[in-house]
A and B are shown apart, each in its own frame.
Chain A
Amino acid sequence: MAKTMREPAVATSGVLRQPTLATMGLGGVLDIFRRGRLPVETGALVDQVFGPAGERGALVISGASGIVGAGKAMQLGARLQPYDIRIAALDFPGAPDGIARQYGGLVGAFGPKGAAAIMQNIVRLSYDGTSLPSELKRMNPRFLLEAIPEILDVKRAHYELFRREFPGIEIRSVTSGFPSKELGVGIAHPAFPHEINKVWEIVEETPSPVTQLFWSLGLIPIEVSDDWSFVLDVLFCGVTHAGLQYHRASNMPLWKVDKYIRKLVGPNPFRAHDAIGAAGANFLTWSCLHHLGERYGDLFRPTALLEERCRTGQTWYPPNHFRPLVDWKMTEADEAEFRAWILGPLFQMTSLMLHEKRGHLSHLNAIGELCAQFRQGILAQMRALGPDAVIATVEAYHRVHPQAAGSAWHPEAFAAMQTPEWRQLYVNAEHDGEAGVVTINRESLSGAVIEELDRAFDWLKAEGVSRVILTGDFHLATQMVGADTSDFYPALSDAEQGRRLSAAWSRTARRLEEDFEVSVGFVNGKRCLGGMLELLAHCHYLVSVGDAGLGFPEVTLPVVPGMEGCHWPFRKSAPEHWPRLLTMLLGGSAVKAKDSVGWLTDYAGPLDDALRTAWAIARGGDHGVKRRLVQSKALTNVPTDVAGLSDHPEPATAAARAAIMECVQRACGAPLAEALDVQATISGAFMASKTCRGGAVGMEYAKTMEV
């Protein structure tokens, strides 16, 4: 199995670091713009994997009634149904019907008709584990997704059975732990919750059509190396293991350990086990840690309590009638020790993954965020601390748990922390010598993303590139949902912190206007909201796929937009469009990009057309799109009222609308040079207000940080 991530397939003059698309053999993002289309076409890949129309084979999901199998039957069923690919859902005759339980979710997502169509395409078959039902042959299986229990011999026999019956069938295992070399098949390990989480860890020799098809269907395949438990379960089982070790050392109840882990890192692993289903999840966690422990020693070896819970399937949280009575509080010294117990093993495990080159660093980082509830990816956390502090944290862990010091500790892996691979976890840049593309692979904008944007802009300028497209990465970020509100937590109690954050982020956004000859914001996903929209709107041009939703939902949180959303779009549009902008800001509803051309976007259309348009603008060709200039003088006669939106019966919304309106009036009424500070001050003040603290951001802060 290739340990080193593959080189990008496209020829570009420069890349800040390897694009993650390249790990799937899909080239770089710049190439997408240059070609004016995506690197692969879904129909062609469907033909390749399942055979051409008329000879289409089926997808078999074995263990289809389980949590993973049923979830993936829905996810893949919904995406493959338009291509007339049948799904054989295979399980034991006595297995509880996990497929039918999914129907409600399908109706919610696709409506009754759509749900029925998807379900009609799924054929449920029973088998006894030793022979396959004859009906299966008639369905011409081309691809087996195996989701049966984590027992190596059983899995191997299962593959043998299929290969005997269907030579040449493509097989992927959803295993969360066994390497491909142990199983003898490729790995497609999906992340929970299986109905909706798009991430799959992929292990294969070279990027396969199956993986590219997954990507083309809108999923997020992530190539990882062929090592025990890959990346996700090292992180998830690892944080669970760390919590169990701390529990043993302190007696702190698991529900409380969970809350402190959530405060420190983001996930609440014990609640997650119970939510997934303790019986299965406990076993999977034990299985991963057991095998990791066998290979790497005490760093991973399961605790006695995990072994007990694996055996009994007991939940980690107490039952409802024994909701916890006695609270636990930590002193500062306790919290310092807790950090060592939790972050120490996580950092050490990460050192192992880095040493083994388990994946592209952006992947290693993103998996924690996308699949394990990490507020910041593990590498981003480590980078923020710096190598010395990371090593000191692991050493502090070794002092309280010396057994872990003996193996799987690779501090030398942090020596590369200053390389672009580490420094650009969220933002990449590519260029061809004339035009560049800056890509964001995080769906929410954070301080770390802002810092990386600045570095990417600096790099492009240093490379002599003055024409740039800013967009998503076409891989890890399938949409742009706005600011990461956890970055606002410090501002909830300090208006100055809010003002500084707002001003700093806005200054980075302004570089798109000021530092480049041409900048194009490109919306490629389903939506672009809030801070992300404010960011992209700073580009000289904003190009979008037509169906994307664009909006300023800040009022619903509520917060006041902090990145100049209250005046910048006004300065770029004619007065007759200002009521529309006000409606967006005060109402919080999104508009379709195709309905916003001329006053918010500059072009919106089908993906390929939008790609070509953006590229033409960036390259300075004949694109026919008129640039809307930013009015630098104070604006006058900005409406002070919008029909139906000037008031609201709910006091928080009314207060937010009033603050946003004040911000619009004052920021628009100031010259451009002063407007940034005006907006930042009002945004910061509102974040520290009682209204904001009582809203979604404040509630999330209280839930997460006030343990």
Chain B
Amino acid sequence: MKTVTGSLPRARIPYGTWGSSYFPAWQTSALAEVNIGQFAGEAANRILGLRKVPGDQLEFLVIGSTIPWHWKFWTAPLVASCMGHRIPGYHVEQACATGLQAVLLAGAEVQNGYDAVGVVTFDRTSDSPVGVFPERRAHERTHALADVWDNFGFDPATGNSMIAAAGKTARKYKLDRREVDDCAFRRYEQYFQGRESGFLDRVLVPLDVLNVQGRPLGRIDQDLGVRSVSHEQLRGMRELDTCVTSGGQTHASDGMATLLVTSKERVKEFSARPEIDIEFIGKTEVRADPSLMPEAPALAVQRLLERLGLGLEDMAVLKNHNPFAVNDVVFQKVTGYDWNKMNNNGCPLVWGHPQGPTLTRVLIEALEEAVALGGGYVLIFGCAAGDVGIASVFRVS
């Protein structure tokens, strides 16, 4: 393994001090009925408890979400209170990059002096709120905006929808629909392999949700909405835009994920396997040309690896946020990396798109995979609204 200096040399991620809820598709589970900020706080507390991390050791909390939730004004301190602790913190929001950005910012907080920073990312797409925006200069005077669907359907900077961006990128790279379908099929295959092998059990935590009377409302123990899809079914699906079908794009879902970032001095106190060292190596972001969002992550990866002096062949694990199968095929077109070799055990294309926690779960799964492989560099990347690509490298040794 090539040696490069970490970007946040004081920050570490203690092995195993993480977890994610399952991501049920929107409107399919009890998560459709909860204050997701409260749920995320309580669930994070539960997960950290199962991981033997005393919550009172947390000094700071970074939360990440993208969809407004009740009392979001109170941000991280409120979520911390739902965890049972009075600690400060803040909220970070960067569309689908949120889940990674929150971890990186937690690393930065440790670099700046904290010893134990929690990350809690979450979103509830179900019943997303409707915002009412008085706009006196606009001809409609007042706009009402359904937070999830209206935003997916319209990038104000370009006037295009997300799907249109995927189609435009597919056309730019002259993608073959059959390859995109093959890629989508492979992703489903990888997810079910991860589930059947028990890999996902190391990452995902079943959670029981209560109603206001304290009685069971539902158990969140499946990525509801994930269905087994055959090649033939994928081939037969109607194109919504170039190379974009319902099987080759993600679906809206609800969920949360959490992870702990500590100083290297204290990491052994928290880690389930203190011999494992997980470092922050580097991170970058790029913005692609208008409506070429699926291209952006590949460009970010190129830039980051060039800056670090590393190549894709140095990476033990690659995993990305891929709302479209188009993303992964474009990644191969740009970097030459075989999409078959990445996204083992599942990815957002399959298990859904709750926005805030998506890349946190991607990271957790990737770190687990790297540990299982005996270590190495972990490359995490993904796209975000605004044609943004984000990429980050971690080292597991």
Stretch at the interface among A323-331, A339-347, A660-668, A690-698: A323-331
Residue on A nearest B46 in the bound complex, by CB: A326
Over the window 74-86 of chain B, the binary record of Cβ atoms lying under 8 Å from chain A Cβ atoms (1 yes, 0 no) is 0000000111101
Interface size class of A (residues with CB under 8 A): 20 to 34
Stretch at the interface among A83-91, A249-257, A570-578: A249-257
**B225 / chain A contacts, CB cutoff of 8 Å:** none
B216 within 8 A of A: yes
- B208 pairs with A329, CB closer than 8 A: yes
A648 within 8 A of B: no
Q: Which of A504-528 contact B (CB under 8 A)?
A: none
Over the window 311-342 of chain A, the binary record of Cβ atoms lying under 8 Å from chain B Cβ atoms (1 yes, 0 no) is 00000001000111111110000000000000
A7 within 8 A of B: no
A248 within 8 A of B: yes
Complex alpha-carbon distance, A427 and B228, angstroms: 68
- A308 pairs with B209, CB closer than 8 A: no
- B46 pairs with A324, CB closer than 8 A: no
* CB of A325, distance to nearest CB on chain B (Å): 5
Complex alpha-carbon distance, A308 and B87, angstroms: 12
* CB of B70, distance to nearest CB on chain A (Å): 9
Q: A325-B35, A326-B210, A329-B208 are in contact. Are A253 and B42 (CB under 8 A)?
A: yes
Q: A252-B49, A253-B84 are in contact. Are A326 and B42 (CB under 8 A)?
A: yes
Q: A323-B212, A323-B214, A329-B208 are in contact. Are A251 and B34 (CB under 8 A)?
A: no
B380 within 8 A of A: no
A625 within 8 A of B: no
* CB of B343, distance to nearest CB on chain A (Å): 29
A109 within 8 A of B: no
Q: Which of A281-309 contact B (CB under 8 A)?
A: 304-305, 308
Residue on A nearest B57 in the bound complex, by CB: A248
- A325 pairs with B209, CB closer than 8 A: yes
- A254 pairs with B84, CB closer than 8 A: yes
* CB of A320, distance to nearest CB on chain B (Å): 8
Q: Which of B43, B48, B81, B86 contacts A326 (CB 8 A)?
A: B43
B134 within 8 A of A: no
**B54 / chain A contacts, CB cutoff of 8 Å:** 248-249, 251
Interface centre among A248, A250, A254, A304, by most B CB within 10 Å?
A250
Complex alpha-carbon distance, A200 and B133, angstroms: 63
**A250 / chain B contacts, CB cutoff of 8 Å:** 49
* CB of A627, distance to nearest CB on chain B (Å): 55
* CB of A705, distance to nearest CB on chain B (Å): 15
Q: A323-B212, A325-B209 are in contact. Are A251 and B86 (CB under 8 A)?
A: no
Complex alpha-carbon distance, A328 and B46, angstroms: 7
**A251 / chain B contacts, CB cutoff of 8 Å:** 45-46, 48-49, 53-55, 83-84
Q: Which of B28-77 contact A (CB under 8 A)?
A: 34-35, 38-39, 42-43, 45-46, 48-49, 53-56
- A322 pairs with B208, CB closer than 8 A: no
B207 within 8 A of A: yes
- B56 pairs with A322, CB closer than 8 A: no
Q: A251-B48, A252-B49, A322-B82 are in contact. Are A327 and B35 (CB under 8 A)?
A: no
**B39 / chain A contacts, CB cutoff of 8 Å:** 325-326
**B82 / chain A contacts, CB cutoff of 8 Å:** 318, 322
**B216 / chain A contacts, CB cutoff of 8 Å:** 327
Residue on B nearest A250 in the bound complex, by CB: B49
Q: A249-B54, A304-B56 are in contact. Are A322 and B84 (CB under 8 A)?
A: no
Q: Which of B83, B209, B212 contacts A327 (CB 8 A)?
A: B209
Q: Which of B72-129 contact A (CB under 8 A)?
A: 81-84, 86
- A324 pairs with B49, CB closer than 8 A: no
* CB of A52, distance to nearest CB on chain B (Å): 58
- B38 pairs with A322, CB closer than 8 A: yes
**B45 / chain A contacts, CB cutoff of 8 Å:** 251, 253, 326
* CB of B165, distance to nearest CB on chain A (Å): 36
* CB of A614, distance to nearest CB on chain B (Å): 50
**B83 / chain A contacts, CB cutoff of 8 Å:** 251
**A248 / chain B contacts, CB cutoff of 8 Å:** 54, 56
Q: A249-B54, A251-B54 are in contact. Are A326 and B208 (CB under 8 A)?
A: yes
- B209 pairs with A326, CB closer than 8 A: yes
Complex alpha-carbon distance, A229 and B380, angstroms: 58
* CB of A341, distance to nearest CB on chain B (Å): 13
* CB of A297, distance to nearest CB on chain B (Å): 21
Q: A249-B54, A329-B208 are in contact. Are A324 and B42 (CB under 8 A)?
A: yes
Interface centre among A248, A324, A329, by most B CB within 10 Å?
A324
**A249 / chain B contacts, CB cutoff of 8 Å:** 54
Residue on A nearest B56 in the bound complex, by CB: A248
Complex alpha-carbon distance, A326 and B122, angstroms: 15
* CB of B58, distance to nearest CB on chain A (Å): 10
- B207 pairs with A326, CB closer than 8 A: yes
**A324 / chain B contacts, CB cutoff of 8 Å:** 42, 210, 214
Q: Which of A254, A304, A325 contacts B210 (CB 8 A)?
A: A325
Complex alpha-carbon distance, A304 and B56, angstroms: 9
Complex alpha-carbon distance, A318 and B39, angstroms: 13
Interface centre among A251, A254, A323, by most B CB within 10 Å?
A251
Complex alpha-carbon distance, A250 and B82, angstroms: 15
Complex alpha-carbon distance, A327 and B216, angstroms: 8
**A318 / chain B contacts, CB cutoff of 8 Å:** 82
- B38 pairs with A327, CB closer than 8 A: no
Complex alpha-carbon distance, A184 and B59, angstroms: 45
Q: Which of B326-341 contact A (CB under 8 A)?
A: none
- A305 pairs with B56, CB closer than 8 A: yes
Residue on A nearest B31 in the bound complex, by CB: A325
Residue on A nearest B39 in the bound complex, by CB: A325
- A308 pairs with B42, CB closer than 8 A: no
**B207 / chain A contacts, CB cutoff of 8 Å:** 326-327
**A253 / chain B contacts, CB cutoff of 8 Å:** 42, 45, 84
**B46 / chain A contacts, CB cutoff of 8 Å:** 251, 326, 328
Q: Which of B161-216 contact A (CB under 8 A)?
A: 207-210, 212, 214, 216
Q: A251-B54, A253-B84 are in contact. Are A327 and B49 (CB under 8 A)?
A: no
**B35 / chain A contacts, CB cutoff of 8 Å:** 325
Complex alpha-carbon distance, A329 and B210, angstroms: 12
**B214 / chain A contacts, CB cutoff of 8 Å:** 323-324
* CB of A316, distance to nearest CB on chain B (Å): 10
Complex alpha-carbon distance, A349 and B54, angstroms: 25
Complex alpha-carbon distance, A254 and B82, angstroms: 12
**B212 / chain A contacts, CB cutoff of 8 Å:** 323
Complex alpha-carbon distance, A304 and B85, angstroms: 11
Residue on A nearest B213 in the bound complex, by CB: A323
Residue on A nearest B21 in the bound complex, by CB: A326
**B86 / chain A contacts, CB cutoff of 8 Å:** 308
* CB of B302, distance to nearest CB on chain A (Å): 41
* CB of B98, distance to nearest CB on chain A (Å): 22
* CB of A576, distance to nearest CB on chain B (Å): 51
**A325 / chain B contacts, CB cutoff of 8 Å:** 34-35, 38-39, 42, 209-210
Complex alpha-carbon distance, A329 and B207, angstroms: 10
Residue on A nearest B36 in the bound complex, by CB: A325
Complex alpha-carbon distance, A254 and B49, angstroms: 13
**A323 / chain B contacts, CB cutoff of 8 Å:** 210, 212, 214
- B56 pairs with A327, CB closer than 8 A: no
Complex alpha-carbon distance, A406 and B45, angstroms: 31
What 3 pairs across the A-B complex have the smallest Cβ distances?
Answer: A251-B49, A326-B42, A327-B208
Q: Name 22 A/B residue pairs within 8 A (Cβ), A-sorted.
A: A247-B84, A248-B54, A249-B54, A251-B45, A251-B49, A251-B55, A251-B83, A252-B49, A253-B45, A253-B84, A254-B84, A304-B56, A305-B56, A318-B82, A322-B81, A322-B82, A323-B210, A323-B212, A323-B214, A324-B214, A326-B207, A327-B210
Excluding A254-B84, A318-B82, 17 further A-B contacts by CB distance (< 8 Å) are: A247-B84, A249-B54, A250-B49, A251-B45, A253-B45, A305-B56, A322-B38, A322-B81, A324-B42, A324-B210, A325-B38, A325-B39, A325-B42, A326-B46, A326-B210, A327-B208, A327-B210
Binding site for A on B (CB under 8 A): 34-35, 38-39, 42-43, 45-46, 48-49, 53-56, 81-84, 86, 207-210, 212, 214, 216
